[in-house]
Structure 1
Amino acid sequence: MSFARLGAAMCLAASLAAPAFAQSQIDDPECVAPANPGGGFDLTCRVAQTGLDPHVDAPIQVNFMPGGIGAVAYNLFNTTRTDDGSAIVAFSTGSLLNIVTGKYGAFTEKDVRWVATAGADFGAVVVRADSEYQTLAELMTDFSADPASVVVGAGGSVGSQDWMKGALLLREAGASPMDMRYVAFDGGGDAIAALLGGSIEVYTGDVGEMVPHMESGQMRLLAVMSPERLEAPFADIPTAIEEGFDVEWTIMRGFYMGGDVSDADYQKWVDAFEAAYATEAFAQVQKERGLLPLNMAGEELQTSVEQRVQTLREIATEAGLIQ
């Protein structure tokens, strides 16, 4: 074989071996994390930034827009950025709860376009490494005897999903959620800082947020609020259910866009996520961020969000958060 033919054959073989990704053409792609750095919204955007990298033609920039646990961003993308085809905004089940309870104003779940999910996360009961609480049962004993003796904090106001986690714990302990000493922070990063600084004793956060902190040894997870025990690095942490307490909180993490985004721009993001879902690389990104696969995009997610909002509306009504 001639050198020319050999070279051509090698090039062909290399092209066949290389992974081929269809890339969505999105100008200046952006993911907005509607809180300060370090919390769950930050984590969600990092999944998009890393997991979609092979599937979009430009790097995704992560920008932060704190305020009202997502309210500032939700209002902005329902007013001045309703047709911005370059930006997606991180949301969680907590965001849907805030919509239900009116914390995002008059806008509803029908005013934006739900794009795709980043994965599933779960509630976690977190204390400092030097906390007196070694088990969830010890904490629940204090909640039962004197709820106000324990200072709980998280990245959300009363009625938020992080507050709901604490409220569910108190209810299971036989106490009233309204007796909880709860401190609200604007994002998980601020709440973690408060926990480490001693301002609060218990953080009702999310499992995914804990991944970067697992090796530091500064915090300890008493329990996860998942239906079943999770895989590594959380395999040794019991569920609240295992510990004898019927408390579970599953968190959907994902992204939305303004309601006036064109079908073409919306579909570019949907296509990128669906392409990513089909790869092992995206599953690895989810695992590294402490998320379990929950892969939905486009109309499937739109339908799921509407169903979840209805369920949350029922729960919020039972809790007296809405009439």
Structure 2
Amino acid sequence: MRRDAFLKSLAAMAAAGALPMSGHAAGVALKMMVPANPGGGWDSTGRALGKALQDAGVASSVSYDNKGGAAGALGLAQFVNASKGDPHALMVMGAVMLGGIITGKPPVDLSQATPIARLISEYNVFVLPANSPFKTMKDVVDAMKKDVGSVKWGGGSRGATEHIAAAMIAREVGVDAAKINYVPFRGGGEAVAAILGGNVSVGGSGYSEFQPYIASGKMLPIAVTSPARLPGLNAPTLKELGINVEIGNWRGVYGAPGITPDQRKALTSMVLAATKAPAWAEAIQKNGWTPALLSGPAFDEFVDREFASLRAIMAKSGMV
């Protein structure tokens, strides 16, 4: 559908009450809940999507609310409780939130919000601070085998994909995964500061978050969780190192609880339009993300499968 035809269809839906708003489609003011502190993957995803929504002409403005903690559970609770029935509210989420829900069992569940779309996927990279006594993942593994608690793994909230990956690595090398020393942070900025300051032994996150520090030599990449080496990054896969671990991190958006099917459809159309905007293509390239667009019932089913898959992986790794 051409952009002008798309905007006309949104305006028609608004007139019919399917998309309550004042004025025309391009006048929509959207609210974006980012359930993490500034500086991390969810934050960059939410702000990139907000820019693309405006670039596509389906939003006049996007406001952001960062609420970090508990793998997104604190932001999820605020979103569910404060945005009921709001067709102009979006929340960034992804695999990390599912992992946090499995480990933390928060009182507010993701099923209370409305699935909109999966947007991108990204693999994790493990890094060392430049002055680390370790130089390779083998050094890290050897230290874990001697004293599992001596290695501090730093990353996102408990249940984040880098936390799951660290537990999987421990299991694969014969270490009690339940005893790994994992230090969770509320956002990517905090994790970066801890790694650069030498407050953790190994850091894990998406490549986009660490890329500038790797390029400047402040961080040394030692392994990635992808099936093949990542373009532009000189780091082996875990499988290359003989550690049978592969895990990806995906991100998407949900709408508010209690919106109507027509409002969900309209909000989904806006997000899909944003993914066709030049600003979104720029963000994909800049961050090294892999497009992974999925919406509608297929996205609903995907989230259900991911919950089951992550729960099985985490149980096997001693995390639940």
State the TM-score, normalized to the length of structure 2: 0.85
Percent identity of paired positions between Structure 1 and Structure 2: 28
Q: Does the Cα contact within 8 Å between 1:83 and 1:259 map onto a contact in 2?
A: yes
Name the aligned partner's letter for residue 146 of structure 2: A
Residues 1:317 and 1:149: Cα distance change in structure 2 (over 3 Å): closer
Once residues 102 and 145 of structure 1 are traced to their aligned partners in structure 2, the CA distance between those partners, rounded to angstroms, is 30
Q: Does the Cα contact within 8 Å between 2:128 and 2:202 map onto a contact in 1?
A: yes
Query: 2:217: which partner in 1?
Result: 217
Query: 2:6: which partner in 1?
Result: 22
Query: 2:241: which partner in 1?
Result: 243
Q: Is residue 301 of structure 1 aligned with residue 302 of structure 2?
A: no
Q: Is residue 77 of structure 1 aligned with residue 75 of structure 2?
A: no
Once residues 109 and 77 of structure 1 are traced to their aligned partners in structure 2, the CA distance between those partners, rounded to angstroms, is 10
Cα distance, 1:118 vs structure 2 = 2.5
Superposed CA offset, 1:20-69 (max 9, x none): 58345363212221111111211221231233332223132332112323
Give the SS at the match of 2:29.
coil
Query: 2:18: which partner in 1?
Result: none
Cα distance, 1:125 vs structure 2 = 0.7
Corresponding pairs, count = 301
Residues 1:280 and 1:227: Cα distance change in structure 2 (over 3 Å): farther
Q: Is residue 104 of structure 1 aligned with residue 106 of structure 2?
A: yes
Superposed CA offset, 1:130-170 (max 9, x none): 2232222222222223222222222213x443321211121
Give the SS at the match of 1:41.
helix
Query: 2:259: which partner in 1?
Result: 261
Superposed CA offset, 1:233-279 (max 9, x none): x3x22211122211111011111122212333322331123234446
Q: Does the Cα contact within 8 Å between 2:28 and 2:61 map onto a contact in 1?
A: no
Query: 1:204: which partner in 2?
Result: 204
5+ residue gaps, structure 1, are 1-17
Q: Does the Cα contact within 8 Å between 2:134 and 2:140 map onto a contact in 1?
A: yes
Give the SS at the match of 1:244.
coil
Residues 1:49 and 1:220: Cα distance change in structure 2 (over 3 Å): farther
Once residues 261 and 171 of structure 1 are traced to their aligned partners in structure 2, the CA distance between those partners, rounded to angstroms, is 43
Superposed CA offset, 1:62-113 (max 9, x none): 32112323111211222232222222111120101222334322x3342211
Q: Does the Cα contact within 8 Å between 1:30 and 1:87 map onto a contact in 2?
A: yes
Give the SS at the match of 2:227.
coil
Once residues 63 and 212 of structure 1 are traced to their aligned partners in structure 2, the CA distance between those partners, rounded to angstroms, is 25
Equivalence map 1:50-199=2 (5 Å): 50-55=51-56, 56-105=58-107, 107-157=108-158, 159-199=159-199
Residues 1:109 and 1:71: Cα distance change in structure 2 (over 3 Å): closer
Cα distance, 1:298 vs structure 2 = 2.6
Once residues 283 and 127 of structure 1 are traced to their aligned partners in structure 2, the CA distance between those partners, rounded to angstroms, is 30
Once residues 239 and 319 of structure 2 are traced to their aligned partners in structure 1, the CA distance between those partners, rounded to angstroms, is 25
Deviates more, 1:120-129 or 1:309-318: 309-318
Q: Choose 1 or 2 for highest CA Rg.
A: 1
Query: 2:14: which partner in 1?
Result: none
State the TM-score, normalized to the length of structure 1: 0.84
Name the aligned partner's letter for residue 64 of structure 1: N
Once residues 211 and 85 of structure 2 are traced to their aligned partners in structure 1, the CA distance between those partners, rounded to angstroms, is 35
Residues 1:63 and 1:76: Cα distance change in structure 2 (over 3 Å): closer
Residues 1:300 and 1:74: Cα distance change in structure 2 (over 3 Å): same
5+ residue gaps, structure 2, are 11-24
Cα distance, 1:305 vs structure 2 = 0.7
Give the SS at the match of 1:204.
strand
Cα distance, 1:205 vs structure 2 = 1.8
Residues 1:160 and 1:91: Cα distance change in structure 2 (over 3 Å): same
Once residues 138 and 197 of structure 2 are traced to their aligned partners in structure 1, the CA distance between those partners, rounded to angstroms, is 24
2:287 aligned residue (267, 286, 289): 289
Superposed CA offset, 1:194-244 (max 9, x none): 111121121122223223434333212111101112223x3x222111222
